[in-house]
C-alpha cells in the first residue's frame, strides 16, 4: 500500500503538471475571443452598472424562462456571464494547491482500484478505458447540453484531461503497483 501511496503522489503530481502546462500557457485560452482594452472597459462598465445590484453569480442573459427572454434568446445576442463584484486575482495559488491535492487523491483511488486487477497490461487497459469513459461522460457530454460554450474549449479540456490522467496512471502502474504473482504449476 505504501508503494501505491508514493506512486499516487508522483502520478498525481505529473497529472497536475500536465494540467498546469495546458492551462497556464496560452493554450487554455485558444477557444475564447478577446476584446481590446477599450472594449473590455466598456463591457466591464456595463456589467458593473447592470449586475452589481444583483451581486456575484452566474448569469444566463437573456433569461429564457420568461416570454420576452425566450424571444430575445432566439434573436441574440446571448451570454453566459460569470460575474464577481470583487474581481479575482489573475493567478490563485490556493486553487493550484487544491488541484494538486485533488490529483493525488484521485490517483490514490485509481491505484487502490487497479490493485484489484492483475497484470501490467490489464491494469494499463483498464486505466486507459476508464480515462476515455470519464472524459466522454464528464467532459464531452457537457457541450451537448451546454451548447452555448465553445466546442473548442471542451475538446481541449477533454484532451488535456485524458493525457493528464493517462500519464499519471501510467506512472502509477509502471513503477509503483505490486508486481503480479506468477503461479508455477506443481510437479
Evaluate whether 170 touches 124 at the Cβ level (below 8 Å): yes
Residue 162 has pLDDT above 80, yes or no: yes
> What are 19-69's pLDDT values in tens digits?
989 988 888 888 888 999 999 999 999 999 999 888 898 888 999 899 999
pLDDT in the model for residue 106: 92
Per-residue pLDDT band at 148 (split at 50, 70, 90): low
φ, ψ of residue 181 in degrees (nearest 5): -80, 125
State the CB neighbour count (10 A cutoff) for residue 104.
19
pLDDT in the model for residue 133: 93
Residue 134 has pLDDT above 70, yes or no: yes
pLDDT in the model for residue 109: 94
pTM exceeds 0.85: no
Rounded Cα distance, 126 and 132, in Å: 10
pLDDT in the model for residue 181: 65
Q: Which of 153, 20, 25 is nearest to 80 (CA)?
A: 153
Rounded Cα distance, 58 and 80, in Å: 7
pLDDT in the model for residue 146: 73
Residue 182 has pLDDT above 70, yes or no: no
State the CB neighbour count (10 A cutoff) for residue 90.
5
> What are 94-116's pLDDT values in tens digits?
888 898 999 999 999 999 999 99
pLDDT in the model for residue 110: 93
Q: Which of 50, 53, 72 is nearest to 62 (CA)?
A: 72
pLDDT in the model for residue 170: 94
Name the 3-class secondary structure at 159: helix
φ, ψ of residue 142 in degrees (nearest 5): -65, -45
Averaged pLDDT, 2-21: 94
Residues contacting 152, CB < 8 A, separation 6+: 30, 31
Weakest mean pLDDT among 5-9, 24-28, 42-46, 155-159: 24-28
Sign of torsion, CA 81 87 89 93? negative
C-alpha cell at 75: 434573436
Name the 3-class secondary structure at 133: helix
Containing 66, the helix (H) or strand (E) segment is: none
Amino acid at each position: 500500500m505504501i508503494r501505491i501511496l508514493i506512486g499516487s503522489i508522483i502520478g498525481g503530481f505529473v497529472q497536475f503538471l500536465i494540467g498546469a502546462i495546458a492551462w497556464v500557457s496560452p493554450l487554455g485560452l485558444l477557444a475564447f475571443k478577446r476584446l481590446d482594452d477599450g472594449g473590455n472597459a466598456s463591457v466591464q462598465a456595463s456589467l458593473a452598472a447592470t449586475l452589481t445590484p444583483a451581486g456575484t453569480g452566474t448569469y444566463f442573459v437573456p433569461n429564457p424562462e420568461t416570454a420576452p427572454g425566450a424571444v430575445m434568446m432566439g434573436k441574440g445576442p446571448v451570454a453566459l456571464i460569470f460575474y464577481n463584484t470583487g474581481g479575482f486575482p489573475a493567478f490563485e495559488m490556493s486553487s493550484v494547491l487544491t488541484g494538486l491535492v485533488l490529483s493525488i487523491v484521485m490517483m490514490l483511488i485509481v491505484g487502490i482500484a487497479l490493485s484489484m486487477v492483475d497484470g501490467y497490461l490489464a491494469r494499463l487497459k483498464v486505466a486507459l478505458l476508464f480515462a476515455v469513459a470519464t472524459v466522454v461522460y464528464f467532459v464531452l457530454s457537457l457541450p451537448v447540453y451546454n451548447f452555448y460554450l465553445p466546442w473548442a474549449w471542451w475538446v481541449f479540456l477533454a484532451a488535456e484531461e485524458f493525457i493528464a490522467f493517462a500519464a499519471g496512471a501510467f506512472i502509477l502502474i509502471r513503477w509503483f503497483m505490486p508486481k503480479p504473482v506468477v503461479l508455477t504449476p506443481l510437479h
